[in-house]
Amino acid sequence: MKYIGYFVIILFFTSCHVVRVHTDYEKETDFSNYATYNYYNDMETGMSELEEKRFFNVLDIAMQSKGLRLSEEPDFLINIQSRFYETPRNNTVGLGVGGAGRNVGGGVSVGIPVGQAKVQREIIFDFVDSQKEQLFWQATSKSSFNEKATPVERERKLQEIVAKVLSKYPPKTRK
């Protein structure tokens, strides 16, 4: 029983910082045709200049570790979009007032939010065939964002996000 309590506590603390990734792709795509990449010139990432610089550095290292090369004449282009949003507070304290009589009943309940809303970041990765100008792979990551994080912590979080996203590229085909 003691171990279950420890497990629940660990699960609680780790579940807040999980990077969730969802992918989609064109099922007819031959991913072996894509060896080189580059970025769209007019990309609006939604990140600050410093965060963008960190992000592209992390992404380039991860792409190269997958055997993909940055090129002036790429096989595909990458578009990145990100946004921040607050998740609703799901912790509330309920206050209730009620009464009951012989044949009469009634009640009032009020939920008071407790704690702060959590800031989340969503990053969308679009891989677009440079010849056909068609999207062939897309990933959406959602994760927590700490506004007070140091640059080192932010880079570590970006590494976690990029690693999780690229672990799903190329998709494993099911037969």
> For 59-118, what is each residue's pLDDT tens digit?
999 999 999 999 999 999 999 999 998 877 666 655 555 555 565 555 555 666 666 678
Residue 46 lies in a domain: yes
Residue 3 clears pLDDT 90, i.e. is over it: no
pLDDT number for residue 172: 85
CATH code of 59's domain: 3.30.160.670
Q: Read off the pLDDT of residues 29-54 as tens digits, 9 standing for 90 and up.
A: 999 999 999 999 999 999 999 999 99
Average pLDDT, the chain: 84
> What whole-number distance in Å separates Cα of residue 128 and Cα of residue 135?
4
Residue 10 clears pLDDT 50, i.e. is over it: no
Beta-sheet pairing, 92-100 with 105-113: antiparallel
Give the chain's domain count: 1
Say which range, 2-6, 21-25, 96-100, has the weakest mean pLDDT.
2-6
Residue 10 lies in a domain: no
pLDDT number for residue 87: 78
Q: What is the domain range of residue 45? A: 18-87+112-166
pLDDT number for residue 86: 86
Residue 173 lies in a domain: no
pLDDT number for residue 138: 98
Alpha helices by DSSP H, listed for the chain, are 2-15, 49-65, 151-166
Residue 123 lies in a domain: yes
What is the pLDDT averaged over residues 54-59?
Answer: 98
Residue 1 lies in a domain: no
> What whole-number distance in Å separates Cα of residue 142 and Cα of residue 140?
7
pLDDT number for residue 9: 46
Residue 94 lies in a domain: no
Two tokens at 175? 């037969």
Residue 164 clears pLDDT 80, i.e. is over it: yes
Residue 136 lies in a domain: yes
pLDDT number for residue 15: 45
Residue 62 lies in a domain: yes
The more confidently predicted of residues 9 and 140 is 140
Residue 157 clears pLDDT 90, i.e. is over it: yes
Cβ neighbours of residue 58 under 8 Å, at least 6 residues apart?
A: 155, 158, 159, 162
Two tokens at 76? 């595909």
